[in-house]
Amino acid sequence: MINADKFRRTLGRFATGVIVITTIDYDGKLHGMTANSFTSVSLSPPLILVCVDVQNQTHDFIKDQRKFGVNILSSKQRELSSYFAKTIPQPPEPDIVESELSKNGIPCLQGSLGFLGCSLVAAHLQGDHTIYVGNVEEIITEDNPDRPLIFYESNFRELNSTENQ
């Protein structure tokens, strides 16, 4: 039998970036969810996946709208990441949330390192999460020199090293 704490702690030793998955709620407003279960799947066609807890609001927004955005966060967006990791009901939206709609009508968070607008092509329920596979139909990348936001051992961190030569 796998010990749940040990499982969680061991997974936490895998350093990841941080994204906010953006969707639209049932009132037509932006809805965001912080996530790190994001992986590229295929280059041709361009596919990515995210894993979403079935109990999260985002789960049904993606299922119903069949589209979602992946916003790759910079280290300057740590507050945004904490905000979108909060449980329901959402607190009043702080000033830090600035967004615009992409061509396909998906909210894109300003200041992110990159944005992928996806249409839902597959959903696989596994355990308590659904693996959502998205076909990337839009890419927005600003010329943003900021560093990525990192999640490691349950803490947000910043890259602090130079490239290996």
Ligand X SMILES: Cc1cc2nc3c(=O)[nH]c(=O)nc-3n(C[C@H](O)[C@H](O)[C@H](O)COP(=O)(O)O)c2cc1C
Site string for ligand X, 132-161 (x = CB under 6 A): -------------------x----------
Interface size with ligand X, residues (CB under 6 A): 17
d(CA 14, CA 28): 36
Spatial contact of 58 and 21, defined as CB atoms under 8 Å apart:
yes
Q: Does 25 bind ligand X (CB under 6 A)?
A: no
Please report, for residues 9, 12, 26, 52, the alpha-carbon distance to residue 152 in angstroms, rounded to integers and kept in the order given. 10, 6, 33, 19
Nearer to ligand X, 53 or 137 (CB): 53
Site for ligand X in 27-66 (CB under 6 A): 33-37, 51-53, 56-58
**Helices marked H in the chain:** 4-11, 57-65, 78-83
Name the minimum Å distance from CB 153 to ligand X: 11
The label of the residue with tokens 């696989």 reads 124
Q: Does 18 bind ligand X (CB under 6 A)?
A: yes
Nearer to ligand X, 108 or 149 (CB): 149
- SS3 call for 105: coil
Name the minimum Å distance from CB 129 to ligand X: 6
Site string for ligand X, 65-104 (x = CB under 6 A): --------------------xxxx----------------
Fill in the DSSP letter of residue 76: G
Element (H, E) at 152: strand 149-152
Which residues sit at the interface with ligand X, rule CB under 6 A?
Answer: 18, 33-37, 51-53, 56-58, 85-88, 151
